[in-house]
Amino acid sequence: MFPRWFLVAYLLFVCVLVPVYAVHYGWLNFLWLSNLALIAGCAAAWLESRRLASMLAVGVVLLEMGWVIDFLLGLMLLGNPPFGFVGYMFDPELPLYLRLFSLYHLPLPFVLLWMVWRLGYDPLAGRLWVLAGWAVLLLSYVLSTPEANVNWVLGPLARPQELVHPYVWLAALMAGCALVWWLSHRMLWWGMGRFGHVHPRREGERG
C-alpha cells in the first residue's frame, strides 16, 4: 500500500528521533499525543493497519493543524507565533537540531490523511480513539510535573493553572479533546466516504 522508500525513510527518522528526544527531554515526552502519533503512525504504515491509522488521524490531525498554522504565522510574524503553541521553535536557547526534528509536525497530519486515504477509514476509529486518548491524558496527568506539563493536563501551554481545581481542568480538557476527536471522526468519515475510502461496517454497527 505504501512505497518502500516512504516506509524506510519513516522508520529511519523515528529510529533517530526517539533516542535524541529520550536523552534531551526524557521518556515522559513520548506521552505527547503528537509524538505518540508519529511513532504509532510508523507502525501503522508498516503493518498497513487501517484501524490504527484511522485512530491516529482522529486523534491528532485537527490538533496538529493548530501547530502548523501557528508555526507558519510565526514565520510570517518574524518569530512571534500568535497562539503560543510553537514558541519553543523560535527559542534560540533550544538547540537548532532539536527544533529541526520538531518540524515533523508540519507533514504529520497530511501523512496520516494520506495513509487513511490509501488504507481506507475505519468507522470504529472515533470511539476507539476517545478511549485511548483519554487513557493517555489520564496517564499524562499522573506522571506530569510543573516542569513537564505533558498534553497540557496541568494547565494551558507550559504553565500549570491555578484558577480551578486540577480535576476540573483535567475534566474540561478531556471533554474538549473528545469534542475535537468527534468532529475529526465525522469529518473523516464524511470526507473519505465521498470518495469511497471508508471501510465497510459490519451489519448492525452505527456511527
Domain boundaries, the chain: 4-194
Residue 1 pLDDT level (bands cut at 50, 70, 90): confident
SS3 state of residue 169: helix
d(CA 133, CA 31): 10
Place of cell 522508500: 5
Cell of 149: 506539563
Using CA atoms in the order 109, 2, 16, 157, what is the torsion angle rounded to 10 degrees? 10
32-46, 94-108, 147-161: least confidently modelled range: 147-161
Nearest alpha carbon to residue 39 among 16, 71, 63, 23: 16
Q: What is the pTM of this model?
A: 0.92
pLDDT, one tens digit per residue, over 46-97 is: 999 999 999 999 999 999 999 999 999 999 998 899 998 999 999 999 999 9
